[in-house]
Structure formats: structure tokens, C-alpha cells
Amino acid sequence: MRAVKSSSISLLLVAGGTGGHILPAVAFGDWILREQKGVTVNYISGSRPMELEIYRVSGIEPFVIRIAGSPVGASFAKKLKRWFDMLISIYQVWRCVNKKSPDLCVMFGGYVSIPALLICRLKGVRSVFHEQNARAGKATRLAHRFNVRVASGWEECAPLKSGDYERVGVPIRRFRDMRRDEALELLDIVDDGFRGPVVSVMTGSLGSGHLAETLSSLSRMELFSLWRFLVVNPEVDSPTEVRHNMIHVPRMWDISPLYALSDMLITRAGASTLSEVEALTIPAVLVPWRGAADDHQMKNAQQLASVPTVRIWDESSESLSDLASKLNDLYRICLSEDNHTVKRLYNASKAGEKICGKLWDFAAYYMKGEVNFEGRRLH
């Protein structure tokens, strides 16, 4: 990575809305503090409780602005309130930028990024945008129109053209390397033999009742009677055994124990999770949420369609038996390739560090000219 020669650099990271935007920002900021001396990191977040929970679990107190959702597609009364909140948020970001005087702002999407984008343009703060999804969101498309440079998580970043962005990957959180027995103890799950494979079901930071119901039906099939399904459920506070082979575990931001136990995954196709799937090389059935804006989860899933250990199940058009067939197909791959590697978590963390390094390299190039980086000519 490029060594920073400047004595002090202020970096402002903007991310809110869902874990899909916030977790990459937190992972990147954590890497910066560990690897780049002389760089201070501050965060701007929206005001929803889940946003603040993610930050605070990570030991971060962000600068909180009033915005709490999109003014698009809401009821008339809610639109008025959210547009008003947007105006207040612009003023709040103005105050934050005046106070922190950032050398660079990196925006990670969500509507929280729009006030930051406007203020950075007005005040001449050098900025870059990171788009996690294979289909760029509204904030990213607006940033592109403002000539803000875009770093992408994937080879595709539709509708932007290939020369309009640079792929760096999606920063992922660091994992704790642990054995299965340690993971079972941390999750407070009694080991009753676990004779079959363990499949973790991840429904995204907002949860998904429909997918959980689907998995309940799947688990009752005779084919999967010896399997264990660990379902991440935001509505439970402690592990709750529903059937002998289906266990609900509470939502967790340190996902290491779940990955340590898993032979396979069934997961929504959020960009952060898919980047972790790619880094972990863990067999997975991807279930894109078709209600995602611009159908971006399906676009994300298609980025991994050629990976031998990945299958895509479209819940809007495919049957439960199709899901069962794809899951069983992945199990045969697991058996033939002995896919559960001891160093999976360690290797994934190393892959995540490389992604953060690429994003920093990309961002450093567009920082203010007076900040000097070894090996870079800055504009």
C-alpha cells in the first residue's frame, strides 16, 4: 500500500441506511486506523436505530444527521417530512465539514450520502464514492453526474459504463479465526452430534420473514432430516431451537461464529454478504430479494453465477423443490472437495485487507494535491 507522508490527514466516511452500506465503511475505517499512520477517521450516519446500533457495536460514535429514509415512494405526509429532514441534514453536514475539515470524503451510498455529496461539492472537499452493488443506486448515479469518481464492488456497475468506475471490491469485516466447538459455545448451542451438514440462513440486516418460512418448509423434508439449519433471526434474543434440525440465532454483527460452523449458506444477495461469500469460498445458495431497488440483488447474484460453488434460487419463479435440489447439489460438491477449510476465516480476513488497500489506493489518488503520497502523482 502507498505510505502516507503527510503528518495528519482527516478522512470522512459517510454511510447509512442498512448494514450493506455501513459495514463496508466500518471495515474500511478500521483498516485505515490500523494500516495508515497519521490518518483520523470520522463517520456520518443517518438517524435510524439500526444504523446507530451497527456503529456502536463497532465502537464508533458517528456524527448523526436527521435523515432517516428515502423521500421517494413514501406517502405524501412522509415525503414532506423526509424532504424537510433532507434540508436539515444538509445544514448538519455543513456544520460537520466545517468542524472536521476533511481532506477527503468517501461516501458509501444510501440517502445519507446526498447531503454529504452536495456540501463537499460546494466546499471543494475532494470526494470519491464507493458503490457496493452491481447496479448503481440513485446516490451513486447522482455522484457520477457531479463528476465524483466511483469505486465499484464488482466488474459491473450498471448503468455506468466500464470507464466510469474502477473495481476495487467491497470491504469486508475482519473475522475471528475459531474452531467449531468455540463457535458453538459462543452461540450457546448444544452439540447433539451435528451428523449432517450445517447450513446458515442469512436474511439480511432487515430480516426476511418470507425466507425464514420457506426454510421452515425445507427443513421438514426427509432429505434434510439430519441437517442443521441455523437461521439468523432479528426477533430472537438467544438461540431458540424450533425443531430438532432448525435453530434460530439472534442477529449478530460479529458473524465469525456462524461462518465457523457453516458448511453452506442460504443468503440474500446483499453486496456485503456476497463479498464475504466470495472471500470465504463457501458454497452458497443466493436468494435475491426481488423487492430491492432496481432489482439490484439479482444483479449482484449474477456476478457470482459462474462460481462452481454458487447457485441462485429465484423465489418469485422457482419452487421449493428447486431450492432443495440446488442445496443438495452443493452438498455433493462439499463432500467431493472437502470444502470446509480450517483457515477459511483467516484467509477471508486477508482478502478483505487487500480490498481495503485497493480502495485506499483509489481514494488517495483523488485527495487534495497538497497531501503527498508515495508513488502517486495527484491532480
Give the global pTM: 0.88
Q: Looking at residue 38, which CATH number applies to its domain? A: 3.40.50.2000
- Name which of 83, 301, 106, 323 is nearest 199 in CA terms: 323
Least confidently predicted of 110-124, 233-247, 360-374: 360-374
Q: What is the DSSP letter of 163?
A: G
Distance spanning both ends of the chain, measured CA to CA: 19
Determine, yes or no, domain membership for 1.
Answer: no
What does 191-202 look like in DSSP terms, one character per residue? -S---S-EEEEE
Count the domains in the chain: 2
Same-domain status, 135 and 62: yes
- Inter-axis angle of helices 76-100 and 113-123, nearest 10: 40
Please indicate, yes or no, whether residues 261 and 316 belong to a single structural domain of this protein: yes
Distance, CA of 241 to CA of 26 (rounded, Å):
32
Judgement on whether residues 129 and 266 belong to the same structural domain of the protein: no
Strands 165-167 and 198-202: unpaired
- CA dist 175 and 202 (Å) reads 17
Query: Is 13 in the same domain as 152?
Result: yes
pLDDT single digits (tens) 167-217: 999 999 999 988 888 998 888 887 766 678 899 998 765 455 677 778 888
Q: Range of 226's domain? A: 180-342
DSSP bridge partners of 44:
14, 63
376 lies in a domain? no
Q: What is the pLDDT of residues 127-166, one digit of tens each?
A: 999 999 999 999 999 999 999 999 999 999 999 998 999 9
Count CA atoms within 13 Å of residue 159 on its CB side: 7
Judge if 168 and 279 occupy the same domain.
no
